[in-house]
Amino acid sequence: MKKLLTVVLSLVLVASLLAGCGTDNNSTGNNSSFNLNNEIVVVSREEGSGTRGAFVELTGVEAKDDNGNTVDRTYEEAIVYNGTNQVLTAVAGNEYAIGYISTGSLNNTVRPLKIDGVEPTTENIKNGSYKIARPFNIATKGDVSEITQDFIDFIMSKEGQEIVSDSFIAVDDNPSPYAGSKPSGKVIVAGSTSVTPVMEKLREAYLEINPNAEIEIHSTGSSAGMQAAITGTADIGMASRDLKDSEKAELDYLAIAIDGIAVINNPTNTIDDLALEQVTKIFTGEIIKWSDIK
């Protein structure tokens, strides 16, 4: 009986080893579980998102139709999320997913892809070799309160731009130190979910200098932020894109940072470099499977 059991166990072991040594022609060599013949799971941001607006414009996903109208051609099967964290979670949790986020929001749960062989580093964004980049803008309407202007002065000061440069690219390489009057009052800031994290750091640093102030931040999306500034429900609007012509007609604005948009996939995916044209085709649904990327 013992001899029979030993033979059976040996056969099971050999079968397991043989299974482990087998190859799957549809899988990558570095990760045998990744099947290139699977469809690409396209993850996008919601309409009105500054990140989406900048991404579709910079990649050519947005284009003119036959009537000359600008059309966002984002793949109709794309999974749409309302914030950066949701996109990160979705791509980190699906090995066949691809999405896009601000480079300032990158973490080790996802992998930023090279675009035309160029990594989305600060240096490459600043020198223009990484092409998917956009400004972070703040906007106000008409004359602003003393406290609002003082907070803006802090953002553009040496201290403020140093905070910006921790995650993004400062717009002023040699700003003057903050020399504000530290007035009291309340400032309401609303808009881009991509700008919100750096704005929260700016608020924290400003309140240490000026404890008389109250800064309230609402993460509502770029378009909502611009509308809030126009209607006066926010003192400062945040946009992670260029302002639209209709917004420029109503608002005063300035860039506080430059940011890249990283195209991200799951770290288990062996593809780490895409041509910009391939990015466009993936996000318009022209490229469906990972195996279609040549």
> For the chain, which residues make up each domain, given as ranges?
41-133+262-292, 134-259
Question: Who's near 77: CB < 8 A, 6+ residues apart?
Answer: 42, 285
Q: How many helices (H) and strands (E) does the chain have?
A: 10, 14
Q: What is the pLDDT of residue 259?
A: 87
Q: Which CATH architecture has domain 41-133+262-292?
A: 3-Layer(aba) Sandwich (3.40)
> What is the arithmetic mean of pLDDT over 55-82?
93
**Residue 261 β-bridge partners:** 102
The two tokens of residue 150 are 């003082």
**CATH 3.40.50.880 corresponds to the domain 134-259:** no
Q: What is the pLDDT of residues 221-259, one digit of tens each?
A: 999 999 999 999 999 999 988 999 999 999 999 999 998
Helix (H, G, I), strand (E, B) or coil at 69: coil
Q: What is the pLDDT of residues 164-215, one digit of tens each?
A: 998 888 998 899 999 999 999 999 999 998 899 999 999 999 999 999 999 9
pLDDT at 5 over 50: no
What does pTM read for this prediction? 0.69
Q: What is the pLDDT of residue 31?
A: 56
pLDDT at 1 over 50: no
Helix H or strand E segment including 282: helix 276-283
Q: Is the dihedral of CA 108, 110, 111, 113 positive or negative?
A: negative
Q: Which of 31-45, 88-102, 111-125, 262-276 has the lowest mean pLDDT?
A: 31-45
Give the whole-angstrom CA distance, residue 121 versus residue 168: 10
pLDDT band at 17 (very low <50, low <70, confident <90, very high): very low
| Alpha-carbon 62 to chain mean position | 17
pLDDT at 19 over 50: no
